[in-house]
Structure 1
Amino acid sequence: MTPDFCIGIIGGTGQLGSAIAHGLLRNRFIAPERLWISSRSNNVTAFASEEPTTGSAESGAAIQFTTCNQDLIDHCDVVIIAVPPPLLAALDINVESHNGVLISVIAGVTIAQLQHYTGAKRVIRAMSNPAAGKGLAYSPWCASSEVTAEDRRATLALFNAVGQTDEVTSEDQIDQFTALIGPVPGFVAYYADCMVDYAVNAGIDPLIAERAIRQLFHASGVVLATAEASPAEQVKAMIDYAGTTAAGLNAMQASPLADAIAEGLEAAYKKAQVISSTDQSGQ
């Protein structure tokens, strides 16, 4: 059942904003005519495949596109801000009279900063990633003290429509999750690339190696996500089996790999704490 309120996404044609929009539409969480998209470029081509969401005289249902952020705010009950951190101060919006909740998925920007730049009091600070477009995102969030129970229900429903979600207890945990959620696709791609290189160096055709590794990572992700056993329990079971997997895992556990992963995550976490003051365009 679609909600009877309107959702607006400022920065809705960017990578993350458009992914959230696509996820909400494809999972039928929001009707197209109740979705507003605001962007400086007004580039609507990202939604060309979303029939009938790009709208036509025949469909009678169209996303509302605008280049005026304030126009979006004035028409929407839930406003999502999905712009690069340095653009927050330039949004030129006033949410003080807005009777809905403001949800930010801007990396590194605090609730206090969001309240200062927008005038909003009811603020949700969240983190998500482009997997939202496929309904696969994990989107943790925390709330300002003014956020209502109804705001919380709407936020849970919205993020559950594009994946999974939890409310966490502090903004520092959002920074920690920024280091986990944003970089993970890159970390996984790096590990996969290392495996492809290993296979190619062993004489396997590069195209076959890449196809194999892509499928193996896809299958492993599905198994990991759906198994009742925790990751630690799965590792222990494989080591106890004492086969080829155990040999590889034993060698990895004896190497500095775990420390290297922790160092990478810590570097990402530290970046998350300062990213709002730097000229970055993504996680």
Structure 2
Amino acid sequence: MGVNSDGNVHDPERRESKPSQGDPSRSVRDLFRLEGRTIVITGAHGFLGTTLAMAILESGGDVVCLDLPESPTAENWQDVETAAETHGGRLSYWSLDVTSETMVAEGFAKFMPTLRFPLRGLVVCAGISRNGPAIEFPISTIRHMLDVNVSGAFLAAQAAAREMRKSDVSGSIVLVASMSGYVSNKGVDTAGYNASKAAVQQLARSLAAEWGSRKGMPLIRVNSLSPGYIRTAATAEALQRPGIEAQWVGDNMLYRLSTPDEFRAPVLFMLGDGSSFMTGSDLRVDGGHCAW
């Protein structure tokens, strides 16, 4: 690395050719379509994961679902299978622990030969949240959260990028972070979780810097999505506490909680060609919670 005569830093490892650009002749509809692509989803067994799987299938993509259970038992899994049949998509499910480097490598090696379309996208939904007073919170739980939320995101992104490089195809990676990467949550003690989600946001920016500009790599865009509170089974326990729902609802500008379906369009946007000039960004979809 050196400094040019104009004072700008020159990195010899940066790609010399320009990345692919937008095409004004394409229809707006096509900018959100995913035909000819396979999208991998980690944490695909949760409500957000299954909802996004159905959206990707509806948009023309094939979906590979990864999660811990040996077989899918999500209560709406039949809906995911129906979406695949309705839209002619190929759907598969593979058991995988995203915190295990060996399992991630072996898992990708197993499902990659079964794909009919190149791997062009990844959505990292795998994540856990644990709460409790920081003064007595066990470090083992902190380490576990960081392992799932941060190390797991890195391993999945790394594996996907390696396959894209091997196939020499461009791609888009979406890491699901949280508005909790920006702010602390009123009414619940989640210091470790908040720290892990801030790390996910920074991980996305850092991977985007490497994979959008290096020789020997296809163009891989990396962005993060930061949802606000979502009404799912994961938040049901906290919402049972007196006053929590009223507080959470009152803390954003739309005065309600979100539902998983409200993240379909943002994720399709980031995966598709409509976001061709977007990388290293965080898309916050929080009902205005962080904008007060």
Name the one with the larger strand percent.
2
Larger radius of gyration: 1
TM-score (norm 1): 0.41
Greater relative contact order structure (CA < 8 Å, 6+ sep): 2
Name the one with the larger helix percent.
1
